[in-house]
Amino acid sequence: MNKIERLTFPALFAETLKRNGDRPAMALVGESPISYNDLNLKINALIAWLEKLGINTGDKVAILSSSIPNWGISYYAITFMGAIVVPLLPDFHSSEIGNILTHSEAKAIFISEGLQSKISGVSNDQLPLRIRIEDFTFVDKDSKMESFLPDAEPGRQYNVTPDDLAAIIYTSGTTGKSKGVMLTHGNICFTARMSDRVQEINETDKFLSVLPLSHTYENTIGLIFPMTKGACIYYLGKVPTPSVLLPALQIIKPTIMLTVPLIIEKIFRNRIKPKFTGNILLRIAIHIPFIRRKINIVAGKKLMETFGGELRFFGIGGAKLNKTVEKFLIEAKFPYAIGYGLTETSPLLAGSNPRNYRLQSAGPAIEEIELIIHEPDKLTGEGEIWAKGPNVMKGYFKEPALTDEILTSDGWLKTGDLGVFDKDKYLYIKGRIRNMIVRSGGENIFPEEIESVINNFRNVADSLVMDQKGKLVAMVYFNRDEIKEQHRNLKDENVDYIEHEIEKLRTELQAYVNHRVNKFSQIQEVVVVNEPFEKTATQKIKRYLYA
């Protein structure tokens, strides 16, 4: 990377305007994209309005909205003027949002109409500026403050530096403790620039955004990265249910998508796997390797057609991908890739592309990022992953003690993840240290690995493995709708019958799992849960709720 390059959002955006000002920048699916030149006008008009509303460099401004073009416009306007954006996940509980707004000292919020009830408990004195993100009007329709003018120009010039704070991102992770991660312009822009070393993109690429923009993964790689190259981003504007996503894929025909494992795992289990298991000949043939590969290639072509037929990079991050699903993607020649990172690292630390993947690996370290295994086990080589580089956060907002726990004095960030390198320095993630179960005999058990086996069993929607008083217990959520569909023609179908089937599945599941894991990882009990597990934005189960 050019060492004299100015890694700030306004500087990188200015480069894009010079090269690709007339190119399409972003749009809702079904609408015509605005150009980068038009995007620039909207950003400047919004900066001019924020100036009149009293927002200054260093002030905090929150965004609570689904992913739409005005989300990105708001984000750019806030950060271009040296203010600090506080992105809030739409799934946050109202009490959590209230606490974050207080803790972050936010002076204003851009909020979508459907989420306004989540800030109803926040006083006007605490948060006087509440702006509807859809049209840049005030939530309080009787407001006497000046209105947004689409042709306005900023009254001041701003000198934003790479070390300036760009965002405070509050994580709602698997531990339940929300922390405000402080990321600079340099942190995020470095990751965006380095992403092009993992997978090159250009101004002809079409991104389809399906993840929350308030999450660092989608924010950095799905918003800032395409902006640096002049690519176009399309937004669903709705929750990516199959009825919304599938038509959008055919309309946009995206070349780039970023997802979490759950999305492709659901497609595999609901649309691909049933075709293998529904026919007795296919069930037999699928166990013959060369026939299975041919079948998977055909399935892969159909999967590509489902995604619009032009996909060349399908990024998967946020959690570990199921091994069975990944094997299918490899044999299907589907252009998937795996990445690994943390909010605290803006987020990317390691990554692969569709040409250099390795089964169950997160890929090699990103250029200019140092990754080490701290105090590796002498036999396995496993240990905690530590990272150092230009994308490591400044720290946790107002939490110096927590910052000192995760950042060493010489700049190493402790990820909390256990990993190991192969001989070519490809990284393999074993699991979270805090999730690891240590048995009485000293054996280390990674629940994520057992859960991966459980989730391959028929009709399992999700699972969670925990140690309960020395017993290894699997909590399992079965897909009742799927079971009902499979037995819809039975005359005696009713709730009792479905429960009877689930009880049969529960018994079979324990034998299925214990036949496929080592003796230390065998489960002693399967507990059926009746509601889906609560999850984070990247679809990881909030384990602390079930401990």
Q: Which residue has tokens 């028929």?
A: 458
Q: Which CATH class is domain 260-434?
A: alpha beta
pLDDT at 162 over 80: yes
CA pair distance 87, 189, nearest whole angstrom: 17
> What mean pLDDT comes out for the span 324-348?
96
One-letter amino acid identity for 408? T
pTM exceeding the 0.85 threshold for the entire prediction: yes
Helix (H) or strand (E) holding 527: strand 525-529
> What mean pLDDT comes out for the span 240-258?
95
pLDDT of residue 23: 98
pLDDT at 3 over 60: no
* Assigned CATH topology for domain 436-546: GMP Synthetase; Chain A, domain 3 (3.30.300)
Provide the phi-psi class of 30: left if phi over 0, else alpha when psi is between -120 and 50, else beta. Answer: left
Q: How buried is 192 (Cβ within 10 angstroms: 0-12 exposed, 13-18 middle, 19+ buried)?
A: buried
pLDDT of residue 124: 87
Task: Report which of residues 275 and 90 the model is more confident about.
Answer: 90
Task: Report which of residues 442 and 140 the model is more confident about.
Answer: 140
pLDDT digits (tens, 9 = 90+) for 177-194: 679 999 999 999 999 999
pLDDT at 239 over 80: yes
pLDDT digits (tens, 9 = 90+) for 113-125: 999 999 999 998 8
Angle between helix 447-454 and 495-514 (nearest 10): 130
The two tokens of residue 461 are 């929607």
Task: Report which of residues 282 and 74 the model is more confident about.
Answer: 74
pLDDT of residue 178: 76
pLDDT of residue 2: 53
Beta 60-64 vs 106-111: how paired, if at all? Answer: parallel
Q: Are 16 and 239 in contact (CB under 8 A)?
A: no
Biggest alpha carbon–alpha carbon distance for the chain:
74
174 — pLDDT class (breaks 50, 70, 90): very low
Among 218-222, 265-269, 507-511, where is mean pLDDT lowest?
265-269
pLDDT of residue 266: 84
> Within the chain, which residue ranges are assigned CATH 3.40.50.12780?
260-434
Angle between helix 9-20 and 69-80 (nearest 10): 120
Nearest Cα to 84, choosing from 66, 115, 51, 61?
A: 61
Highest mean pLDDT out of 88-92, 228-232, 263-267, 271-275: 228-232
Backbone angles phi, psi at 285, to 5 degrees: -65, -30
One-letter amino acid identity for 317? G
Tell me what percent of the residues of the chain surpass a pLDDT of 70: 95
> Within the chain, which residue ranges are assigned CATH 3.40.50.980?
9-233
Backbone angles phi, psi at 233, to 5 degrees: -115, 135
Residues 6+ apart with CB under 8 A from 320: 261, 360, 429, 431, 448, 452
User: Average pLDDT of the chain?
Assistant: 92
CA pair distance 358, 18, nearest whole angstrom: 38
Nearest Cα to 258, choosing from 371, 341, 155, 137?
A: 341
CA pair distance 82, 76, nearest whole angstrom: 10
> What mean pLDDT comes out for the span 528-547?
86
DSSP classification of residue 30: T
pLDDT of residue 107: 97
> What mean pLDDT comes out for the span 75-102?
95
Residues 6+ apart with CB under 8 A from 327: 359
pLDDT of residue 488: 67
pLDDT at 152 over 80: yes
> Within the chain, which residue ranges are assigned CATH 3.30.300.30?
436-546
pLDDT digits (tens, 9 = 90+) for 253-286: 999 999 999 889 888 888 887 777 667 777 777 7
pLDDT at 308 over 60: yes
> What mean pLDDT comes out for the span 277-304?
84
CA pair distance 118, 236, nearest whole angstrom: 22
CA pair distance 221, 94, nearest whole angstrom: 28
Domain over 9-233 is classified CATH 3.40.190.10: no
